[in-house]
Amino acid sequence: MKKFLVCILALVLLVPFLAACQDDTTESTSSEEVSEEVSKITVPVKDMEGREFRILCWDFASGSILGYTGEVMYAEENPSSVDEAKKIVVDYVESAYNCTIVGEKTNTDPIPTTIRNQVTSGMPYYDICFDSISSSTPLATEKQIMDLTEISTIDLSAPWWDQNAVADLSIGNRVYFTCGDINTYDDQGTWCVLFNKTLKNTLGIEEDFYQLVRDDKWTFDKLVEICSNGITADITGDNVIDEFDRWAFGTETYNLYVHLVAAGQKIAGKDDNDLPYLVAEQEPEATYTILSDAIEFYNDNSTVMVANAPPYSNKYTGTNPNVWEATVHKAFIEGRELFYMCGLIHAASFRVMDDEFGILPVPKYYETQERYYHTVSQGNSTIMYIPVGAENVDDIGLIVSALGEQSKNYVTPAYYDIQLKYRDSRDDESGEMLDLIFASRTFDLGAAFNWGSLLGQYTQLDTNIASRFEANLSSAQTAMDQMIEDLDK
């Protein structure tokens, strides 16, 4: 039935719109002129006269990251439902706009280096890029990528752009990169808490975790309370608690920062002029309190396994297996870990588990918070940008917008409803939790740009928080001020 429906959708979507443009001028086709049965297109249609639009995407597929085919690009052999939806979208856009869309993935040459060389040479090759946030921010400061607000054919208020990303990642009302329905790997990079339902039942834990979320009772203190009830145990019988035993909570030092975000805090806030400021410098008390509580919890070796901290960071120094996959990831797959705090990237690899698992939001810090908050990985998620000097950026804007709109109609439902809700998560309640998680994402300029390597101060188990920050805030402030000055030139 699924294949039949996909074929029908493909046939419908491939109805050509070549009559929309018969010369080299841009002519729009309004949504009223297009049958609602096609795809409710609202982006203007233009004859691109066979132009090839070239996409460059970093290849994140490694280790426990499964099923990644790139943004816009799709697998043709053994395609998933998401791949099938992507093909429908690409085929439609190519037909409607009389163009071709080609994609390339790389995990060798850093994309920023490629783009710098492209801009410097004045010989544009790639039109659209997808890379991690942390890799892309230097290109904005260096003026190597476009301010998307200056491209007339991109409407950042359109529903296929993540409005949280647009608002949070803007600097002085400029937007150099963002994400939306055209991306899928930004969803994969969204942080959550996984829990082993089978182990929960075995341990006799009667509390309904999902109901805790619904009642706004799923808090950091509740997590600590549950984990402190003797769950971690020496199940190997060697009188040593290590990565081969049972654990209440598996995590990594980066998640200290994730707890801060879950409290509604950030590294950088923004003022009335949409310019960033350092929260820890202007409002240090909340930052230090939240980090102190998280560090105290993480330093409890009788409860929490921190993957990239000693002794595991000393034991697993290579890449095969890396320290995460050898410790917290392995323990969860083998049913020896109740909670695992990680990106949704990893959910697909848990399909091989015998145990049932569920998905929860990252717990609030304060029960009185109006909402939950979820961060998106700086290194394992994608944002989209357009290099400076790309040929006819208004045409690129049309293609990006068309891909975004059609991805909202077809790729996002396939990815979100089928792959995440029903294939990876295995229960309806987790689907409900995913709705909440994606609606409460937040993006932090301070983590994205990492001025003065300040993010590292949020991810250390060292309890001397105030002194560490005081020694680093000045250099972070200087770097941030320089970035603002560079962008204003």
Query: Which uninterrupted H or E stretch holds 2?
Result: helix 2-13
Beta-strand relationship, 337-343 and 191-196: antiparallel
| DSSP string for 88-141 | HHHHHHHHHHTEEEEEEEESSS-HHHHHHHHHHHT-----EEEE-HHHHHHHHH
Residue 57 has pLDDT above 60, yes or no: yes
Q: What distance in Å separates the CA atoms of residue 261 and residue 190, rounded to the nearest whole number?
A: 12
* Residue 130 neighbours by CB under 8 Å, 6+ apart: 55, 56, 57, 58, 70, 71, 72, 183, 185, 382, 383, 384
- Asked if 180 contacts 404 with a C-beta cutoff of 8 angstroms, the reply is yes
Is the pLDDT score of 2 beyond 50? Answer: no
Q: Is residue 20 over pLDDT 70?
A: no
Q: Are 196 and 332 in contact (CB under 8 A)?
A: yes
Find all residues with CB under 8 Å of 146, minimum gap 6, and list them: 176, 385, 386, 387, 388, 390, 393
Q: Give the whole-angstrom CA distance, residue 7 versus residue 267.
A: 47
Taking every pair of C-alpha atoms in the chain, what is the biggest distance, in angstroms?
Answer: 79
DSSP-derived 3-state class of residue 442: coil
Q: For 312-347, how does the pLDDT look when each residue is reduced to its tens digit (9 = 90+)?
A: 999 988 766 789 999 999 999 999 999 999 998 888
Q: In order of start, what are the domains of the chain with their CATH numbers? A: 22-188+379-424 (3.40.190.10), 191-375+450-488 (3.40.190.10)
Q: pLDDT tens for residues 101-134?
A: 999 999 888 999 999 999 999 888 999 999 999 9
Q: Which two tokens stand for residue 280?
A: 């820890």
pLDDT of residue 63: 56
Amino acid in the structure at residue 299: N
> Taking residues 63-71, what's their average pLDDT?
72
What pLDDT is attached to residue 111? 94
Instruction: Examine the pLDDT at 29 and tell me if it is beyond 60.
Output: no
For residue 333, what pLDDT is reported?
94
9 confidence band (pLDDT: 50, 70, 90):
very low
Could you tell me the two tokens for 395? 């045409």
- pLDDT, residue 481, reads 96
**pLDDT band with cut points at 50, 70 and 90 for residue 142:** very high
pLDDT for res 11 = 44
Cα distance between residue 217 and residue 219, in whole Å: 6
If you average pLDDT over each of 69-73, 77-81, 277-281, which comes out highest?
Answer: 277-281
pLDDT band of 68, cuts 50, 70, 90: confident
| 3-class DSSP state of 441 | strand
CA distance 117 to 102: 20
Token couple for 284: 């240090």
The Cα–Cα gap between 377 and 90 comes to: 27
pLDDT tens for 155-196 read 999 999 999 999 999 999 999 999 999 999 898 899 999 999
User: Is there a contact between 132 and 378 (Cβ–Cβ < 8 Å)?
Assistant: yes
Per-residue pLDDT band at 65 (split at 50, 70, 90): low
From residue 455, alpha-carbon distances to 184, 297, 426 in Å are 25, 20, 34
pLDDT at 361: 97
Among the listed ranges 18-27, 143-152, 169-178, 186-195, which one has the minimum average pLDDT value?
18-27
What mean pLDDT do residues 411-418 have? 85
Neighbouring-strand partners of residue 278: 268
Mean model confidence pLDDT for the chain = 88
